[in-house]
Amino acid sequence: MNQTTNQTSINFWIICSLALIWNLIGVIAYFGQTFMSEEILSSLSKTEQNYFLNMPVWVTASFATAVFTGVFGAISLLLKKKPAVFLFLISIILILTHQYYIFFIQSFIKVEGLGLILPLTTVFIGFYLLWFSIKMNKQGVLN
């Protein structure tokens, strides 16, 4: 992919747009979890209810900050701004913090089988967006 600051390939715009959509989906998931109604909560299994009701504030904060820094990172990429690198770095650190809680601290829900797909995909995409923003910065696309 040969890019300059004056002419950016269509791949750049596609990746940036998908990054924004992905992170906006994360924001929707955050709001859905945070503002879950009593009716929805009561429809969940006891295990899932315990998981959501006993989630520490720092885990919720890491989730919120990860998705919002991801959105701002994607917007920065779309605007070709260097802060995208820092924002995606913060986002991946917080994604890893959140996943650490899910895999190693909480004991309400076992994460296995198909339940591994979303957490691992989230980590992969987080690292990919950090790598992509660093690459675009080194190529001089970001200013």
Per-residue 3-state assignment (H helix, E strand, C coil) for the chain: CCCCCCCCCHHHHHHHHHHHHHHHHHHHHHHHHHCCCHHHHHHCCHHHHHHHHCCCHHHHHHHHHHHHHHHHHHHHHHCCCCHHHHHHHHHHHHHHHHHHHHHHHCCCCCCCHHHHHHHHHHHHHHHHHHHHHHHHHHCCCCC
What pLDDT does residue 106 have? Answer: 79
Q: Do the beta carbons of residue 38 and residue 68 sit within 8 Å? A: no
**What mean pLDDT value characterizes the chain?**
90
Mean pLDDT, rounded, for 8-21: 96
What pLDDT does residue 63 have? Answer: 95
Residue 11: pLDDT above 60? Answer: yes
- Please tell me the pTM assigned to this model: 0.87
Residue 31: pLDDT above 50? Answer: yes
pLDDT in tens, 95-119: 999 999 988 887 766 766 767 888 8
- Min mean pLDDT across 2-6, 24-28, 43-47 is at 2-6
What pLDDT does residue 141 have? Answer: 95
